[in-house]
Amino acid sequence: MQKFTSRLWLLSAMSLIAACSGSPSMPEPEVILVAGATGKTGSQIVRQLQDQNYKVRALVRDATRAADRLGPDVELVVGDVTDPATVAPAMAGVSRVISAIGATAKEGPGSPEFIDYAGNNNLVDAAVSAGVKQFVVISSMGVTHEKHPLNRIMGNVLIWKMKNEDYLRNSGLPYTIIRPGGLHDKPGGEQLIVFEQADIIKVVGISRADVAAVCIAAIQYPEATGKTFEVFTVKQPADANWQEMFAALE
């Protein structure tokens, strides 16, 4: 009887301790801020992040339009990348940033100078102040070629993208710069993704879904940090060993 009483007392004491201390808390999921979230590539990024159970925050200019496009499960923060005062609050608690913003006009407030350059620079500055762990930006293949036809057609878009790349590299932030070529809307995951670093002008393409997959892989593998590379697909079976692919980059 005495042994039974002692054992019962011990079990009661252990239950009391467990109740007081509570169960071990699970770590909070990382918050990933997506800028340009309602665009064709940005919405792909949001969708794939959700599929992988990330906590997604979208920086948007129009919350109603964004909610219709992205659904109810995305945290929306209203802001404009051209206004630093509205960008800074969006960074609170953010672990990593993926920027898929892009110019919508050749000239004026929606031009590459104000969006691809100044807008991304504002995001970089806010990320530095917030202590963000990594900044991933979608740039473009061909940025090192000043005479590229796109510069004549679209307000020196590649020149401004290159200037932003330099700004990001000099910011001190851990970064990944992704330069896709020939974006299209075909399904992803159907062709072999290729990384290069020569920025050779060539006729290649890649689906926005595949670019989104590269962006998300970049926040998952430390080997992607500090890397700048072009990306496209070729007509071969899909087979992405992300760790090896990032590690092979200079």
> Would the pLDDT of 23 be above 90?
no
- Delineate the domains of the chain, giving CATH numbers in brackets: 30-247 (3.40.50.720)
Helix axes 40-51, 208-220, angle to 10 degrees: 50
- Contact yes or no for 208/41 (Cβ under 8 A): yes
Locus of tokens 């979230």: 37
Segment 47-58 shows an average pLDDT of 96
Give me the pLDDT at residue 57, please: 97
User: Taking a C-beta distance cutoff of 8 angstroms, is the pair 164, 137 a contact?
Assistant: yes
Alpha-carbon separation of residue 118 from 52, 60, 103, 110, 172 (angstroms): 31, 17, 11, 11, 17
Torsion, Cα 38 219 127 107, to 10 degrees, reads -40
4: confidence class by pLDDT, cuts 50, 70, 90: very low
The pTM score is 0.88
Name the band, by pLDDT with cuts 50, 70 and 90, for residue 27. Answer: low
Q: Output the six-digit token pair for 90.
A: 């969006």
pLDDT of residue 11: 40
- Per-residue pLDDT of 167-182, as tens digits, reads 999 999 999 999 999 9
- Looking at the chain, the whole-number percentage of residues with pLDDT higher than 70 is 89
Mean pLDDT of the chain: 91
